[in-house]
Structure formats: structure tokens, C-alpha cells
Amino acid sequence: MGKALKAKEKDAGVGGLSRMTGRLDTLASVRGEMSRMYRLAINSKLAADEMTKFIYALKEIRCCIEAETTATELADIQRRLAVLTNDMAVRRG
């Protein structure tokens, strides 16, 4: 069993990767995690092939968030369009 790392060591990447504590439910948080992976790789604390795997997973999460957001926005646009067309039908004359 590995030794327990202090919080400061986890943040510095000593003994391995620190855990991601934030949520990956927004595009900004996914982008931030991608940046963190990149910085770890640049500072030789994460192998490039490992970074590639993590970035690929994060890209897939990003696609899911975008698809969900697009569906929600489309439903909102359709609802607003229905309201506008109903108003046009009432104003005859």
C-alpha cells in the first residue's frame, strides 16, 4: 500500500497525480481540467501518453455537455417561436 500524501504534496503532484476535486459539469470546468493536465505534462509530472488519455476522456465529457446544452437551447427556441407565432395569428386585420 502506498504512503499517504499530504494535501500540499497532492497539489504539487508528488508521488503521482493529485485528485481532481471539482465537478466536470460545465465547459469551463472541463477546460480547466484539461489545462491542469497539460501543465502537469509540461512540468514532467505526467507522461505525455497518460495526458493524451485523460484529454481524450475530457473531450468526450465536453461533447456530452455541448449536446445537452444544445438540446436545451433548441427546446427553448422552439417554445419562444411557438409563442411568437401564436401572437401573430391573433392579430388579424
- What's 64's DSSP letter? H
Report the greatest alpha carbon distance in the chain: 81
Checking if the pLDDT of 57 tops 80, the result is yes
Phi-psi label, residue 89: left if phi above 0, alpha if psi -120 to 50, beta otherwise: alpha
Mean pLDDT score, 10-22: 60
Under the banding of pLDDT at 50, 70 and 90, the label for residue 1 is very low
Which one is predicted more confidently, 9 or 59? 59
Report the distance separating Cα 83 and Cα 33, nearest Å.
40
What's the one-letter identity of residue 4? A
Report the distance separating Cα 4 and Cα 50, nearest Å.
22
Q: Quote the pLDDT of residue 7.
A: 57
Q: Quote the pLDDT of residue 60.
A: 97
Report the distance separating Cα 18 and Cα 12, nearest Å.
7
